[in-house]
Structure 1
Amino acid sequence: MELDIVALSRLQFATTALFHFLFVPLTLGLSVLLAIMETVYVMTGRTIWRQMTKFWGVLFGINFVVGVATGIVMEFQFGMNWSYYSQYVGDIFGAPLAIEGMMAFFLEATFVGLFFFGWDRLSKIGHLAATWAVALGSNFSALWILIANGWMQNPVGSAFNPETMRMEITSFFDVMFNPVAQAKFVHTVSAGYVTASIFVLGVSAWYLLNGRHLKLARRSMTVAASFGLAASLSVVVLGDESGYLTTEHQRMKMAAMEGMWHTEPAPAAFNLIGLPDQRARETHFAVQVPGVLGLIGTRSLTREIPGIFDLVEEAKDHIRDGIRAYDALQAIRAAPNGDAAPAEAKATFGDLGHRLGYALLLLRYVEDPRRATEADIEKAAWDTVPNVPTMFFAFRTMVGLGFFFILLTGTFFWLSARRALDRRRWLLRVAVIAIPLPWLAAELGWVVAEVGRQPWSIEGVLPTAAAVSNLGASTVLTTLLGFIAIYTCLFIVEMGLMLRAIRKGPDPDTGPEAPLAPGALVAAE
């Protein structure tokens, strides 16, 4: 990839987004776990549950603060590095971002303050309501972000206006209830629940291994295992729904994830493993499971899933239609006013305007898409293929980790039911080692979603290369290095605070039990 303005802008956005997304899943999941723990405290009156809520709440607070700080940068980048994107689709994209900002900085932050400073000022029920408000606010904040992102993947409820040269909203209802956005929301939230569950499970396992805070650790592991098992299973189910919608709305992404270069007879086989070769345009050493991809992608035995070669041929036709739409748009723009535009041009744009984005793919090769040659169209069509090896391996690693989380949480759920959480020390060590794995799965999910959409910033509407600001590459490189330096410092500080809080354990004022020697545990390895 050349270090031009487009590559650098993409790299900067990816860096800041991936870093910010380190905090989002834990915030989503821990907020709900806190609410569950405090609910048990209010129902039973047992102070151990209050102690648990306050301890895990400290870790939630550290994570929440850094997450909010890094999230602010994300929104400012649209105006800094992606100004044409903001101008082109700001009428649509800006609305859910504004709502998310109000929920995050007003609703969510207000109740976070009540959670931390209201223990001795609110009644039990009042404080519990504030805790549940934190959980709901965190999750609804994510909803609006994913509505915005879902629209980028499936731009419904909108249309291009030739007079303003902008995308404009035609139905906010369609944008809000976009099936891709809704599927992404429930899938992302469930992944956050898994992340928090594995985090609580691993930290509690560390306490058991060291014979510390045993009452807190055992109860925390029981809650995390139960909640995590349900969340892990839901991630798989909701992932299946995401796969189906990808086949419906982003067929090239599906073909790239599967390394499927040629259309197969229905139902298509699933490539369990293989070695995709983008240069040779084939997948070597593929081990296939017959019929599985067809069932996942179409939920039928008769519908075909098109391969990359067929989708590239389809993209060529879309580009040719886009050129006609571009020509009609220029005729409309050249008229003294919209009403005086040639009727034929208006009719052509009315029929083919939704293909205009494909003509913009040609701007990488020619200044005027109408002057493109067949060779230019061929290259632009192949540009619609994302990085297949990245998609192929990222997706399989993510799915493999998902099934591992089901196994891990299911095992600890079974052990908690038998009151034998500390009888398999090797399993406790596995739980500690597994702490970072949900973050890896979440980051890979982001890679699959965003790399799979390339070369589009808005699927089929606006190419990424046409969405950037007119900045110098040195300017973007400087800010990129600055963000990396600042975020590295933030990460070190955040990790230091989290580890310090974990080593300290629950507040001594709440009466933690005296430490036990690790040898007091029953070892059955």
Structure 2
Amino acid sequence: MDLDIVALSRLQFAMTALYHFLFVPLTLGLSIVVAIMETVYVMTGRPIWRQMTKFWGALFGINFVLGVATGLVMEFQFGMNWSYYSHYVGDIFGAPLAIEGLMAFFLEATFVGLFFFGWDKLSRVGHLATAWAVAIGSNFSALWILIANGWMQNPVGSAFNPQTMRMEVTDFGAVLFNPVAQAKFVHTVSAGYVTASMFVLGVSAWYLLKGRHIDLAKRSMTVAASFGLASALSVVVLGDESGYLSTEHQKMKLASIEAMWNTEPAPAAFTAFGFPDQQARETHFAVHVPIVMGLIGTRSLTTEIPGINQLVENAKARIREGIAAYDALQKIRATGSTAAIPPDARRSFDDVGHQLGYALLLKRYVDDPRQATPEQIERAAWDTVPGVAPLFWSFRVMVAIGLFLIAIMATFFVLSARRTLDRRRWLLKIAVYAIPLPWIAAELGWFVAEFGRQPWIIEGVLPTAAAVSNLGAGTLLLTILGFALLYTVLFVIEMGLMLRGIRKGPEPDREPPATLVAPNSPLVAAE
């Protein structure tokens, strides 16, 4: 039953997180695209750019509202479904989320109102400032959330306190400048920029196919193709950085993505195709590309990438050290007083306490890890291997979509430079049908990042199975069904509003005079 609760808790959070992430990339990217369009309007004074800003800004607003609503649900889930996780790491994980709310979300939420209702009340430059404040706030919000998530992937700047049984911050600067968090941030926001660019490109292509709003569509496609191409190329570069950091901080995730069962001589080959078999612990019909994985994963020709089998052996050694840490922890807790802690117990815990999380993996099989048998240690070590086949294929589909999007953006960038965007209708149709692809790639990316971390909710520190709340399976099933129903309704509303706005198109927009003159003014009399 405990495993059922863990699986259901994971299913509920995965469902709500992946649904929420349908809105995040478009919010991140469209906020920048809209700000760029308004910048051009302020610089040129041409009304078409104001019309473009208002049209795409309206679609941004619909997406923004539903993104906020679905994001709030996830905040509450930490306390409801993952109470021990919240207790264990709340001092660290809660800080970036609190800063995100106070510093970024309030900035974004405040200026989004001024953006929509301040067109005729603010100067051009003043309104432009609100557009960029919304864009900066949206992206700044993602920064703090990804700092929190990055710490889960690479828990730096923290230490476990055996007296309080909680993780505590030892260096907030290390948490803030965690290389994994920084790489995830730039990679994620770049993916959001590609998503928004593809959305603008596809919708604009649809207008050209229908022969509607030609001027707006062509200009929008030019912005989207230029911004999207730069963003798509940066996604590749920043994704390479994430892979390189995984070699250092999440070796098992990288080995599982590559279905690399055994350590190969450096430089390792990249498995372009194959069918991973986790039971047989081999990859059938594998097609290897020599040297490539070694260059991507280590940026050298001499550094080995450890395989799954070797990493499992390393996990066994860590579990044994974790058992020693667990024994020392029990001796410390038995004293009940800091002054009475036996020096040998404290010394032992300081030496191997960083491996305590590996001992907690045994809780799945035995109440007291110190009583674990060699067979249970073996099973716990193999638990550190996530699902290889889902990771293997998710990563490759994501990469294939990314390369396809680069080709689309580059093609339309060239067409926009030649002013021939509407010459090839088959390309316009491809752009329309390609609108969902960035979302698919983004969702697969998050799946690889989060599923690849299993069985850890905090890498090497706290197993997912130990982090859940003490809830009944019936309660979880009921909430899952409730969320599924609610989110289906929200999805229908979102799609209905977005499609209605796209079909309606931009409204005629006339900029008010820069200076209003009273009827009895001397200027009027002079005229």
TM-score above 0.5, yes or no: yes
Q: Which residue of 1 aligns with 2:301?
A: 301
**Could you tell me how far apart the structure 2 residues matched to 1:492 and 1:285 are?**
42
**Matched letter for residue 498 of structure 1:** M
1:160 aligns with 2:160: yes
Matches of residues 55-134 of structure 1 in structure 2 within 5 Å? 55-134=55-134
**Could you tell me how far apart the structure 1 residues matched to 2:289 and 2:18 are?**
32
Matches of residues 314-463 of structure 1 in structure 2 within 5 Å? 314-463=314-463
Structure 1 residues 510 and 208, CA, compared in 2 at 3 Å: closer, same or farther?
Answer: farther
**Could you tell me how far apart the structure 2 residues matched to 1:347 and 1:27 are?**
50
User: Secondary structure of the residue that 1:264 maps to in structure 2?
Assistant: coil
**Matched letter for residue 327 of structure 2:** D
Q: Deviations over 1:257-298 (max 9, x none)?
A: 000000000000000111001111111111010010000000
Q: Which residue of 2 aligns with 1:140?
A: 140
Q: Which residue of 1 aligns with 2:492?
A: 492
**Could you tell me how far apart the structure 2 residues matched to 1:266 and 1:199 are?**
42
Where has structure 1 moved over 3 Å in runs of 4 or more?
Answer: none
User: Secondary structure of the residue that 1:340 maps to in structure 2?
Assistant: coil
* Identical counterparts, % of pairs: 78
**Matched letter for residue 343 of structure 2:** A
**Could you tell me how far apart the structure 1 residues matched to 2:509 and 2:82 are?**
50
**Matched letter for residue 60 of structure 2:** F
**Offset of 1:105 from its aligned partner?**
3.9
User: Secondary structure of the residue that 2:339 maps to in structure 1?
Assistant: helix
- Check conservation: 2:274, 2:286, Cα contact below 8 A: yes
**Offset of 1:508 from its aligned partner?**
2.8
**Offset of 1:315 from its aligned partner?**
0.1
**Matched letter for residue 449 of structure 2:** A
**Could you tell me how far apart the structure 1 residues matched to 2:489 and 2:509 are?**
32
Q: Which residue of 2 aligns with 1:197?
A: 197
**Could you tell me how far apart the structure 2 residues matched to 1:58 and 1:450 are?**
32
Q: Which residue of 1 aligns with 2:312?
A: 312
**Could you tell me how far apart the structure 2 residues matched to 1:364 and 1:144 are?**
33
**Offset of 1:237 from its aligned partner?**
0.3
Q: Deviations over 1:35-82 (max 9, x none)?
A: 100000000000000000000000000000000000000110000000
User: Secondary structure of the residue that 2:386 maps to in structure 1?
Assistant: coil
Q: Deviations over 1:397-445 (max 9, x none)?
A: 1111111111000000000000000001000000000000000000000
- Check conservation: 2:105, 2:141, Cα contact below 8 A: no
After superposing the two structures, state which structure 1 stretch, 204-213 or 272-281, moved more. Answer: 272-281
**Matched letter for residue 7 of structure 1:** A
- Check conservation: 2:3, 2:465, Cα contact below 8 A: no
- Check conservation: 2:159, 2:169, Cα contact below 8 A: yes
**Offset of 1:342 from its aligned partner?**
1.4
**Could you tell me how far apart the structure 2 residues matched to 1:419 and 1:318 are?**
62
**Offset of 1:3 from its aligned partner?**
6.9
**Could you tell me how far apart the structure 2 residues matched to 1:249 and 1:105 are?**
30
**Could you tell me how far apart the structure 2 residues matched to 1:348 and 1:269 are?**
41
**Matched letter for residue 501 of structure 2:** A
Q: Which residue of 2 aligns with 1:473?
A: 473
Structure 1 residues 510 and 212, CA, compared in 2 at 3 Å: closer, same or farther?
Answer: farther
Q: Which residue of 1 aligns with 2:524?
A: none
**Could you tell me how far apart the structure 2 residues matched to 1:310 and 1:338 are?**
39
**Matched letter for residue 417 of structure 1:** A
**Could you tell me how far apart the structure 1 residues matched to 2:361 and 2:92 are?**
22
**Matched letter for residue 383 of structure 2:** D
**Offset of 1:510 from its aligned partner?**
4.5
**Could you tell me how far apart the structure 2 residues matched to 1:484 and 1:158 are?**
36
**Offset of 1:106 from its aligned partner?**
1.4
Q: Which residue of 2 aligns with 1:264?
A: 264
**Could you tell me how far apart the structure 2 residues matched to 1:400 and 1:443 are?**
14
- Check conservation: 2:277, 2:284, Cα contact below 8 A: yes
**Offset of 1:103 from its aligned partner?**
3.7
- Check conservation: 2:269, 2:289, Cα contact below 8 A: yes
Q: Deviations over 1:323-367 (max 9, x none)?
A: 000000000111141221111111110010000000000000000
User: Secondary structure of the residue that 2:264 maps to in structure 1?
Assistant: coil
**Could you tell me how far apart the structure 1 residues matched to 2:208 and 2:372 are?**
67
**Offset of 1:102 from its aligned partner?**
2.1
Structure 1, unaligned stretches of length 5 or more?
A: 512-525
Q: Which residue of 2 aligns with 1:47?
A: 47
Q: Deviations over 1:365-413 (max 9, x none)?
A: 0000000000000000000000000100000011111111110000000
Q: Which residue of 2 aligns with 1:289?
A: 289
TM-score, normalisation: structure 2: 0.96
**Offset of 1:509 from its aligned partner?**
4.0
**Matched letter for residue 158 of structure 2:** S
**Could you tell me how far apart the structure 1 residues matched to 2:108 and 2:8 are?**
33
TM-score, normalisation: structure 1: 0.96
**Could you tell me how far apart the structure 2 residues matched to 1:274 and 1:118 are?**
56
- Check conservation: 2:105, 2:137, Cα contact below 8 A: no
**Offset of 1:104 from its aligned partner?**
4.8
Structure 1 vs Structure 2 CA RMSD = 1.0
**Could you tell me how far apart the structure 2 residues matched to 1:233 and 1:107 are?**
30
Residue-pair matches, total = 511
Q: Which residue of 1 aligns with 2:13?
A: 13
1:225 aligns with 2:225: yes
User: Secondary structure of the residue that 1:338 maps to in structure 2?
Assistant: coil
Q: Which residue of 2 aligns with 1:514?
A: none
**Could you tell me how far apart the structure 2 residues matched to 1:434 and 1:402 are?**
12
User: Secondary structure of the residue that 1:76 maps to in structure 2?
Assistant: helix
